[in-house]
Structure 1
Amino acid sequence: MSFLSRVMVLKSRAHFSAGGRTRPSHNSAFEGTRKRKSAQAKNRVGLLILGFAVFYCVIGGRLVQYGMAHPEVTSSILPPDRLLASRPDIVDRNGAVLATDIRTVSLFAEPHKIVDTDEVIEKLATVLPDLDVKTTYSRLKSNSHFQWLRRQLTPKQQSQILALGIPGIGFRPEKRRFYPGGSTAAHIVGYVNIDNRGVAGMERYIDTQGLADLASVGMTSDQPLEPVKLSIDLRVQSIVHDVVVESLKKYQSIAGGAVVIDVHTGEILGMASAPDFDPNDPAAGGEQGWMNRMSNGTFEMGSTFKSFTIAMGLDSGKMSLQSTFDARFPIKLGGFTIKDFHGKGRILSVPEIFQYSSNIGTAKIADMVGIENHKEFLTRLGLLSRMKTELPEVAMPSQPREWKKINSVTISFGHGVSTTPLQTAVAGVSLVNGGKYLPPTFLPRSRAQADEMAVQVLKPTTSKDMRFLFDWNGINGSGRNARVAGFDVGGKTGTADKVVNGRYAHDKNFNAFLAAFPMDNPQYVVLSFSDEPKTDKGNGAALAAMSAAPMVKEIISRSAPILGVKPKFGNDGSALLVSY
């Protein structure tokens, strides 16, 4: 092969050799580009997935946040289902209506639709003469889309406003609480606010039993609810209320009150406190009327406490009805002199101590029992602790921080401890019903239910002796002014000087009378009080026998037949008064 041929062969081999080496390099570059583009695509998809995940996590987190957050008030308007939410009727033990819902409408404005504010106010004033012009003007000039102008209009007011044809003005249906009896049972039934929510009394109690929680989550509706039945008898309640209100005029007192309790069940049949208020317009009664002095006012109950002191002595076994105590001389203790208001200056038996309301005799009984036993006994009767009942308005009694001998002695006749009149009456129930303590209730309670929760706080013999003393005082003592022919009324008066500026004022009295009837087989306890009654001379020295006791007499004489208590006449009770 020639030289030239060899050169050509070598070039050809070199060419193929070079081509073989450059092809793998080209494939490698192509493969790298493909992988890089694939990775970029995956990264983009991953970023999109991540973005969506973050987006939905944010949305989910905000939903959870909104779900757990407390609702914010962004408008004064309530949802329609809330505006029409029902409250149960409140009825007495016989089904008489004490509180019910009625349909009404409320006036609202949409300020952004109001053209001439002055014209709107002028027209509304023709129907609502008491319209607050300044407040209404500011509401109509606001930038909001909703403003209440007047809640709970009458049908006549609604029709008159409709006839005015004012643009931007509308009505929303609501429910309003109506109390047919007005102030008759105001402090028991209570009242509601403008949004139909319970504020006081049994109205508030009903809300605390779950109605308010159901309403807050929209689970109440326009459907009628089962009525709530109370223990009170509207007929008896009306009598008690009339007597209490009349006592303010008759005795020119600053306040008064009374209660009737079933001694076997603890049911309240009637209770009133005056001054009072009309729950249809609570603001008109003022603060003095809102105060329920029977359960939410504390007072030194005076000589009514001698009933508990004597019961304590009898229950201790250290004395009997035949025991005597020397009441000839005043007791001097810790710089104080304890004496009797109408002292007999002689040794007195236990019935005489009760009849003559001897401070000296009662003080010696307390001293005989001892300080700790005295405190324990009053606690047992519920006189030193907050009373448990359905009414929210219940005050805590006050007592000395440290009981000393002087405290025990003065508390024995009703000074030094302040309790509510209602819990004093409840403690009085235990004195005459066989010695059983029953928490008071404003809801119906059967005799069987009462027996299950009753607590024996006194010996039955002690209760029997106290029934004798109540009857004895009703016949021979200060309870004579409460005596009702045929109904055998007994009890104990209490005339306590009120504390004014840290000192007892002898011309300002708190008078009370604790009674039971009929004393041969007590069925009911009645307690009345008159705060700062005046005599004809206007000196405030009227005694409980002249103010509180006549109140009890009036209540029993009018309500006993309604309560089913049959009168008895004659020495043995067998004779009946018949009118032809």
Structure 2
Amino acid sequence: MKDKKEQQRIEYSVQNLLALSIIVIIIGIVLVLRFGQLSLLKTVNKVDLSNYQHEIPENRSSIAEARRGNIYDQHGQPIAMDTTSYSMYAVLGGDWAEGEVVQDIEQTATVLARYIDLSEEEIRKLLSTEGSDQVEFGPAGSQLTPKVKEQIEAEGLIGIQFKGSTHRYYINDYFASHLVGYVQEVKRESILQPAFKGELGVEATFDDVLSGTKDFGEKKNQKQASQGQDIYLTLDTRIQNILEDAMEKVNQTYQPKNLGAYLVDVKTGKLIAAGQRPSFNLNTREGIDDLWSNLLVETANEPGSTIKILTMASAVERQVFEPGEKFMSGKVEVYDQLVRDYNLYGWGEITFEEGLARSSNVGMVELVNRIGDQEWVQQLEKFGFGQSTNSLLANETSGSLDFSNPVSRIMSGFGQGFSATPIQLLQAFTTIGNHGEMLKVQYIDQIGKGENSYQVQSMGQVIDPKAADYVLDIMVDTVHEPYGTAQSFKSNQVTVAAKTGTAQIANPDGAGYLTGENDYYHSVVAYFPAEDPQYLFYLFLKQPTENHGKIGSQMIAEMFHPVVDAVMINQ
């Protein structure tokens, strides 16, 4: 089987060499432009990052005011940082002014017009306001960077003063928003105390680390400002931004109830990119009321047919069927229920391997019966279902693994009758791409520079290595064979192994499932390069409002390919 596949892959690579070259050139141009903006212009979202870098001394202990730690990606690219901005005002009179009032209105207006977005005439009118001891300059005189403040002060204008305020600034408006989280400004009695409190995501989970308040307040007569530690996430900014763009296009086009996408380094468990829709603007909070939940850990769904790769691996490990053995597809009775394949009539007698590639429910029922439903449930528990992953993120749910109904135990073999979160699925799926060893999925790379560096956490050898590798080979057929259900995920750049899923959605108001045309949970789990997987990619799309004549896998593929192309261009 492997020799035949290797020959097919070589032929496939040659045929697509030209297409690959074109894609590499296009993506290369996009990346050069993006990094040119960051490296040369030092701007993101029209914000000059060099101004903000200027205000953060290397030795943070010398800062009198409490500072929150920055959040970076795994390469040290900033994600969130404290920034100080200034509002400018002019002192026109008052006993308290002690002579520090504007002396020369004309000169002051001429100079200030060079630094703020007001004309000389507009500034003169403000400075000539009668009956006021001081005037402000509106939006044009607010949110000034430290660099602009210093430039104005260097002009030596008498009567021009500044008031500083600290803000939490996120480099990208939409960037794994529910994972990164946000802060709220808090009322403080002293600049020694933290100005912010984390309210969601990493900002909330690691609030005491970022704010430096683990011991603050416990000691009486605290004299030193709390200085937070920086946190480095496992995310890759370049990949994350590409994922966000791809997700937004799919979200706008098909208008699903929600969708999510998570890329994991399968050899380490590092979460490289994570996104969902609805999302929200990190800086303005726009969209936060559309969905507060972090879908990665807070929402569990019936996983559907992606779970079949675990069923198959468990069956291979137990040797409950012979390679190439056939079964009759189409329909099968499970107690008082009739289970059918998705095309209702099946494909006649087919091998169990082809049954996985075709996504046969009947084949999985037969395998669970041979394994034994009780032993299969124990295997699901070994994969981590029904229990928390201990992500530390707020409101993580354990999903449901309650099989009081024996029918559900059997149907769980094709992803029905139990629920799981994306992070549970990701951890379980690491087994297939990592020779049967399950790794903990983590999103913290390190805390503090050079300290607490990333450690791979093994959850044990859950599946025999040969069984995991055997299933991975079948997943390549699922993509490349004409009968495979994952043909939409065939890539011009790399050999992909994938398994799709289309799950019914349980009726929230009663028994049974929703029956609407678009009431499905579409998903895919993919590994690449299939020969020796480095990446695990799990994507889902729930209840699309507009399908534009496409099936679920085709919609998801529009998020899949831009990310895979971006990842492979640097290989």
> TM-score, normalized by length of structure 1?
0.67
- Paired with 1:250 and 1:308, the residues of 2 have a C-alpha distance of 32
Amino acid at match of 1:303: S
What are the superposed Cα offsets for residues 159-186 of structure 1, whole Å, 9 maximum, x if unpaired?
9xxxxxxxxxx99855321111112221
Q: CA deviation at 1:317?
A: 2.5
What SS does the aligned partner of 1:254 have?
A: strand
- Paired with 2:84 and 2:231, the residues of 1 have a C-alpha distance of 20
1:256 to 259, 263, 275: 259
Matches within 5 A, 1:99-178: 99-104=80-85, 154-155=143-144, 174-178=165-169
Q: CA deviation at 1:233?
A: 0.5
What are the superposed Cα offsets for residues 10-36 of structure 1, whole Å, 9 maximum, x if unpaired?
xxxxxxxxxxxxxxxxxxxxxxxxxxx
Determine which structure has more spread, i.e. the larger CA radius of gyration.
Answer: 1
What SS does the aligned partner of 1:493 have?
A: strand
Matches within 5 A, 1:311-390: 311-334=313-336, 336-342=337-343, 343-390=345-392
How many residues end up aligned between the 2 structures? 423
- Paired with 1:186 and 1:84, the residues of 2 have a C-alpha distance of 27
Residue equivalent to 1:89: 70
In structure 1, list runs of 5 or more residues that go unmatched: 1-80, 108-152, 160-169, 565-580
Equivalent pair of 1:91/1:228 in contact (CA under 8 Å): yes
Query: In the alignment, is residue 495 of structure 1 matched against residue 496 of structure 2?
Result: no
Amino acid at match of 1:439: K
What SS does the aligned partner of 1:465 have?
A: helix
Equivalent pair of 2:87/2:144 in contact (CA under 8 Å): no
Matches within 5 A, 1:197-212: 197-209=197-209, 211-212=212-213
Residue equivalent to 1:47: none
Residue equivalent to 2:525: 514
- Paired with 1:533 and 1:378, the residues of 2 have a C-alpha distance of 29
- Paired with 2:203 and 2:72, the residues of 1 have a C-alpha distance of 12
- Paired with 1:546 and 1:481, the residues of 2 have a C-alpha distance of 6
Q: CA deviation at 1:559?
A: 2.5
| CA RMSD, Structure 1 to Structure 2 (Å) | 3.2
Query: In the alignment, is residue 307 of structure 1 matched against residue 309 of structure 2?
Result: yes
Q: CA deviation at 1:382?
A: 1.3
- Paired with 1:186 and 1:288, the residues of 2 have a C-alpha distance of 13
Matches within 5 A, 1:265-284: 265-282=268-285, 284=286
Q: Flag the 1:178–1:452 CA change in 2: closer, same or farther, 3 A.
A: closer
2:560 to 539, 552, 557: 552
What SS does the aligned partner of 1:558 have?
A: helix
Equivalent pair of 2:440/2:457 in contact (CA under 8 Å): no
Residue equivalent to 1:442: 443
1:485 to 477, 485, 492: 492
- Paired with 1:504 and 1:388, the residues of 2 have a C-alpha distance of 30
Amino acid at match of 2:243: V
Structure whose residues are more often helix by fraction = 1
Q: Flag the 1:216–1:100 CA change in 2: closer, same or farther, 3 A.
A: farther
Amino acid at match of 1:520: E
Equivalent pair of 2:74/2:232 in contact (CA under 8 Å): yes
Equivalent pair of 2:67/2:82 in contact (CA under 8 Å): yes
- Paired with 2:224 and 2:306, the residues of 1 have a C-alpha distance of 50
- Paired with 1:473 and 1:397, the residues of 2 have a C-alpha distance of 28
Amino acid at match of 1:355: A
What are the superposed Cα offsets for residues 553-573 of structure 1, whole Å, 9 maximum, x if unpaired?
2321223224x2xxxxxxxxx
Query: In the alignment, is residue 233 of structure 1 matched against residue 233 of structure 2?
Result: no
Equivalent pair of 2:80/2:170 in contact (CA under 8 Å): yes
- Paired with 1:418 and 1:83, the residues of 2 have a C-alpha distance of 50
1:192 to 178, 183, 199: 183
Equivalent pair of 2:334/2:410 in contact (CA under 8 Å): no
> Identical aligned pairs, as a percentage?
22
Give the number of the structure with larger relative contact order, counting CA–CA contacts within 8 Å between residues 6 or more apart: 2
Q: CA deviation at 1:356?
A: 1.3
- Paired with 2:242 and 2:185, the residues of 1 have a C-alpha distance of 30
Amino acid at match of 1:200: L
Q: CA deviation at 1:339?
A: 0.5
- Paired with 1:220 and 1:85, the residues of 2 have a C-alpha distance of 11
- Paired with 1:266 and 1:413, the residues of 2 have a C-alpha distance of 25
Residue equivalent to 1:182: 173
Residue equivalent to 2:79: 98
In structure 2, list runs of 5 or more residues that go unmatched: 1-61, 89-141, 150-160, 187-195
Q: Flag the 1:467–1:482 CA change in 2: closer, same or farther, 3 A.
A: same
- Paired with 2:410 and 2:551, the residues of 1 have a C-alpha distance of 22
Residue equivalent to 1:543: 551
Q: CA deviation at 1:521?
A: 0.6
Q: CA deviation at 1:223?
A: 7.9
Amino acid at match of 1:238: N
Residue equivalent to 1:523: 534
Equivalent pair of 1:331/1:360 in contact (CA under 8 Å): no
Equivalent pair of 2:437/2:461 in contact (CA under 8 Å): yes
What are the superposed Cα offsets for residues 404-437 of structure 1, whole Å, 9 maximum, x if unpaired?
4301122111111111123212211111211111
